[in-house]
Structure 1
Amino acid sequence: MALNIQRAPYETADRRNRPTEEDELDQEEDAMAQDYSEQVHFEDGMNDLDRTASYGSQSGPQDIQAQLQAAATPLEYQATLETKFASYDNYCSLFHYILNSEGPVDLDVPTYYWAWDVIDEFIYQFESFCRYRNRIARSTSPTSSEDETSEAALLRENPNTWGCYSVLNVLYSLIQRSQINEQLLAMKRNEDPNTVAGDYGTRPLYRMLGYFSIIGLLRVHCLLGDFSLALKTLDDIELNKKAMFARVMAAHFTTYYYVGFSYLMLRRYADAIRMFSHILVYVSRTKNFQKNAQYDSVSKKNEQMYALIAICVAFNPMKLDDTIHTALREKYGDQLVRLQRGGPESLGLFEELFRSACPKFISPTPPDFDHPAVNVDPVDHHTAIFMSEVRNTMFSPTIRSYLKLYTTMDLKKLAGFLEVEPEQLRSWLLVNKQRSRQTRWSEGALLEGETVNMSDLDYALQGDLIHTSEAKVGRKLVDWYLRNLVRTY
């Protein structure tokens, strides 16, 4: 597929009408729920289409409608490798026709839902193929069955099929053709977007595919582990009820999930909690009048979202929305206490929740079929990165509870309570203090924000002395309390 990629420039613009207070946020969520309840009463027309489970190999104006329908149709779960290859060829043919025709393709697209389904299914098949290819490469051995060996040979001979470059090529090209970033910037300035849309961007086909390609880039970059670039892709999209993605429940949910997860991996836990809480509250308020198909596709992710909130709250304790707090206690009551307590006993639980809730990461390059042992599972890789952060902070809750009892405390004395070396404790204190300062987003680009202290306790090291902000009880009582706390912990 020959597509000319010219990445549209990402310009930062001030985002207006963003809620900054909790009551304004609640009002916006209520308005979004009401707006969605009105939207879901119309049919999108896709139910009347004769969907097929396989893809054709022809391309051209005469069968473009059939290809469009096929592109939005989920591939069979047990599809063969040949079918996956044929699906890739069909997508290449379809996007080549849309992007490289002599002029804009004149087609009427059904709805926003259809455009989202095309981009969502395209990325899902890319993601599942990469995971499948990596699994085959890691399991191939001289004792493998004949079918596994033949599949490995076929995958080895076609390294560019469902390649990372090809997928990014399509998404960036759709964005460039539609001039969607320029249109979004014009709308922020209250200008007519058609003045910068060009011949392609004025067509609904290109405008909607280009818009949802931005959401697709967020997802792909997050799957590849580039969380900063994932957030950067949304520079021109405002996260509010007026955004186009808010009209499609699956797109709305996907956007906030990947934004929230990117914030978590960048250690911006307060921002991650805000994103997860927003979409979960929204889902709870709209579940009674959502379409069954749409609601079923996102309700399965709710457990993952709550698991991620539990992780974030353990790192960064903060007040939650009453709905979220109640649900979190019901789902992870005892587990949440263990996470917040920290210590070595919490490591297994952190890893379990992370693995169950994280995206299914993929590798940007094809695996090495000649040396299966060198192929690392991307999920294992990112889990290891996450767990290194957990180990660095697993004693922070205990240290914090001790420091709140003194205004001044000797480093060696606290090390004795914790039964660790003083220098090890010093490193933990430095890590804990550094982690307590986070960048918090309020407006503008998602990567921007103000650096604030997220902890209610501050301290400073002066030699072997730890100076804290306040003391709660007398020294003799503290000494007795700490000794008994260490025994019972």
Structure 2
Amino acid sequence: MNSYGKDDSDVEEEALVADYKEQVQYEGGADDLDQPSLASQADDLQAQLVQAAQPLDFQATLDTKFRSYDNYCALFHCILNSENGPVDIEPPSYYWAWDVIDEFIYQFNTFFSYRARIARQANNEEEARILRENPNTWGCYSVLNVLYSLIQKSQITEQLAAMRRNEDPMDVAGPYGTKSLYRMLGYFSIIGLLRVHCLLGDFSLALKTLDDIELNKKAMFARVMAAHFTTYYYVGFSYMMMRRYSDAIRMFSHILVYVSRTKNFQKNTQYDSISKKNDQMLALIAICVAFNPTRLDDTIHTALREKYGDQLLKLQRGGPDSLPVFEELFRMACPKFISPVPPNFDVPESNIDATDHHLAVFMEEVKINMWSPTIKSYLRLYTTMDLKKLAGFVDVKPEDLRAWLLVNKQRSKQLRWTDAGLLEGDLVNISDLDYAMQGDLIHISEAKMGRKLVDWYLRNLSRTYA
């Protein structure tokens, strides 16, 4: 506790709120910025940097998308390969640096989705021809190369490592890393890599990219609302897809509580995006809680009950009725996945939608677990139970039930992140029920989670969703 009676967490939260107020004021003044005047007062590179942070219209033509890609290529080539060494331009703020990287990846993502849709629908021969002839435009290699190059040039990973050792980061920054332009772009490129690898479906590599960034309220990304949201959304989603539901809930809960504390001044240009992401993360928490029942913050629990109360009840009951609800919430809340390779324009039916692919993988996990609530409700009534008797209760074959019990037993142990790399953690028991099998007998015992948590969960579920 500090001298004002507040713990460090509250002090950090207040600092974040103050930063966000500053960000709202910054963005509120952006509309009044005289862009032509700014460009006329600086060199061509400065004008390109200003333009790179401006959102591209969603309905932009294909020609505009191509020209935007060329502009980004020219911009990053100049920044990364200047003959005179690092360019000497001071970025307006770290909000701006995030906007550049964020818009770059957004346009990459939307281009891939657009190209895949043209290939599947096969109803626009002219655009299909142009896209077929330019397979490398907005290519994965180009985008990843830019992000990795910005990280390497800025020496940002070395700087972050030095800061963790309480050393001066400028000692390892090099000629480029000492410039705030490179340092900020390099830093947010790490968050960009998290996002891109998740969009490509490599969830382990997505988490690995954050090895050099500490997930706490003092990190630079936490000072930019959109970056804060993006980081915890993609980390949480990656954990969910890796079946680390406890960690996923922690990540989603963190950002949702933060949003609830800043909602009174979210009436800026980001409001719609924040509101949508907020609903998405509530849906993802509903999914994770169905797999891993746990107590939530009261604020999140109330919002979840109001937004997805009926769906959550179906998820927690399990069985076939839960399958369409899982699918609905996943589609609504998942990222806009992309395929790393160009589509086949000649055989439209061969192009599998990337989201459909990841949904199919996710639904296999759901089907494995859909009888979990029903089976556990029976196991809680006994200390010893015959396998065939339980199989009769749930109307499945005894051998299938045995396989499910063994798989569920193995999955009751999960890694839980502490403070090392995001892929690491301590192996803990996440189940409220434990059992052992001896022939056809199932011996049931209460897991070490404690009876109080089980009682709270059952009481709260019946009170809230009955």
The TM-score with structure 1 as length reference comes to 0.86
Match of 2:337 in 1: 361
**Residue of 8, 33, 55 corresponding to 1:49:** 33
Match of 1:100 in 2: 81
Q: Which moved more, 1:64-73 or 1:275-284?
A: 64-73
Secondary structure of the 2:269 match is: helix
**Residue of 127, 130, 145 corresponding to 1:154:** 130
**Residue of 82, 88, 91 corresponding to 2:69:** 88
Match of 1:446 in 2: 422
Q: How many angstroms apart in 2 are the aligned matches of 1:295 and 1:393?
A: 36
Secondary structure of the 1:236 match is: coil
Cα distance change, pair 113–334 in 1 and its aligned pair in 2 (3 A):
same
1:31 shift after superposition: 3.8
Match of 2:450 in 1: none
1:250 shift after superposition: 0.5
State yes or no: 1:70 paired with 2:51. Answer: yes
Q: How many angstroms apart in 1 are the aligned matches of 2:236 and 2:67?
A: 34
Q: Quick check: 2:207–2:238 contact (8 Å CA) kept in 1?
A: yes
1:351 shift after superposition: 0.2
Q: Quick check: 1:49–1:69 contact (8 Å CA) kept in 2?
A: no
Partner deviation per Cα, 1:155-176 (whole Å, 9 max, x = no partner): 0000000000000000000000
Q: How many angstroms apart in 2 are the aligned matches of 1:34 and 1:88?
A: 35
Cα distance change, pair 457–78 in 1 and its aligned pair in 2 (3 A):
same
Cα distance change, pair 203–273 in 1 and its aligned pair in 2 (3 A):
same
Q: Quick check: 1:407–1:470 contact (8 Å CA) kept in 2?
A: no
State yes or no: 1:281 paired with 2:257. Answer: yes
Cα distance change, pair 459–345 in 1 and its aligned pair in 2 (3 A):
same
Q: Quick check: 1:119–1:212 contact (8 Å CA) kept in 2?
A: yes
Cα distance change, pair 446–247 in 1 and its aligned pair in 2 (3 A):
same
Cα distance change, pair 218–416 in 1 and its aligned pair in 2 (3 A):
same
1:46 shift after superposition: 3.7
Secondary structure of the 2:357 match is: helix
Cα distance change, pair 266–158 in 1 and its aligned pair in 2 (3 A):
same
Cα distance change, pair 407–242 in 1 and its aligned pair in 2 (3 A):
same
**Residue of 163, 168, 185 corresponding to 1:192:** 168
Match of 1:13 in 2: none
1:373 shift after superposition: 1.3
Q: Quick check: 1:405–1:470 contact (8 Å CA) kept in 2?
A: no
Q: Which moved more, 1:38-47 or 1:174-183?
A: 38-47
1:286 shift after superposition: 1.1
Aligned amino acid, residue 287 of structure 1: K
1:433 shift after superposition: 1.4
Aligned amino acid, residue 98 of structure 2: W
Q: How many angstroms apart in 1 are the aligned matches of 2:340 and 2:214?
A: 28
Q: Quick check: 1:137–1:152 contact (8 Å CA) kept in 2?
A: yes
Q: How many angstroms apart in 2 are the aligned matches of 1:325 and 1:152?
A: 47
> Over the residues paired in the alignment, what is the CA RMSD in angstroms?
1.9
1:49-448 equivalent positions in 2, closer than 5 A: 49-51=33-35, 62-102=43-83, 103-140=85-122, 144=123, 148-290=124-266, 292-448=268-424
Q: Quick check: 2:432–2:446 contact (8 Å CA) kept in 1?
A: no
Q: Quick check: 1:51–1:73 contact (8 Å CA) kept in 2?
A: no
1:82 shift after superposition: 0.8
The TM-score with structure 2 as length reference comes to 0.90
Aligned amino acid, residue 125 of structure 1: Q
Q: How many angstroms apart in 2 are the aligned matches of 1:248 and 1:100?
A: 28
Q: Quick check: 1:263–1:269 contact (8 Å CA) kept in 2?
A: yes
Secondary structure of the 2:442 match is: strand
Q: How many angstroms apart in 1 are the aligned matches of 2:199 and 2:24?
A: 34
Secondary structure of the 2:326 match is: helix
1:431 shift after superposition: 2.0
1:33 shift after superposition: 4.3
Match of 1:16 in 2: none
Partner deviation per Cα, 1:310-365 (whole Å, 9 max, x = no partner): 00000000000010011111111121111000001100000000000000000001
Aligned amino acid, residue 65 of structure 1: Q
Q: Quick check: 1:406–1:470 contact (8 Å CA) kept in 2?
A: no
Q: How many angstroms apart in 2 are the aligned matches of 1:465 and 1:334?
A: 36
1:290 shift after superposition: 4.2
Secondary structure of the 1:151 match is: helix
Partner deviation per Cα, 1:212-263 (whole Å, 9 max, x = no partner): 0000000000000000000000001011111111111000010000000000
1:139 shift after superposition: 1.4
Aligned amino acid, residue 329 of structure 1: R
Cα distance change, pair 26–243 in 1 and its aligned pair in 2 (3 A):
closer
Secondary structure of the 1:468 match is: strand
Q: Quick check: 1:28–1:241 contact (8 Å CA) kept in 2?
A: no
Match of 2:452 in 1: none
1:291 shift after superposition: 5.9
Q: How many angstroms apart in 2 are the aligned matches of 1:339 and 1:107?
A: 53
**Residue of 27, 38, 43 corresponding to 2:10:** 27
Secondary structure of the 1:337 match is: helix
In the alignment of these two chains, the number of paired residues is: 436
Q: How many angstroms apart in 2 are the aligned matches of 1:164 and 1:28?
A: 41
Cα distance change, pair 185–206 in 1 and its aligned pair in 2 (3 A):
same
Cα distance change, pair 136–343 in 1 and its aligned pair in 2 (3 A):
same
Secondary structure of the 1:301 match is: helix
Q: How many angstroms apart in 2 are the aligned matches of 1:37 and 1:379?
A: 33
Secondary structure of the 1:376 match is: coil
Q: How many angstroms apart in 2 are the aligned matches of 1:417 and 1:242?
A: 52
Q: Quick check: 2:13–2:217 contact (8 Å CA) kept in 1?
A: no
Partner deviation per Cα, 1:68-90 (whole Å, 9 max, x = no partner): 11111111121111110000000
Aligned amino acid, residue 243 of structure 2: R
Q: How many angstroms apart in 1 are the aligned matches of 2:318 and 2:26?
A: 49
Secondary structure of the 2:173 match is: helix
Cα distance change, pair 51–400 in 1 and its aligned pair in 2 (3 A):
farther
1:43 shift after superposition: 2.9
Q: How many angstroms apart in 1 are the aligned matches of 2:11 and 2:276?
A: 25
Secondary structure of the 2:26 match is: coil
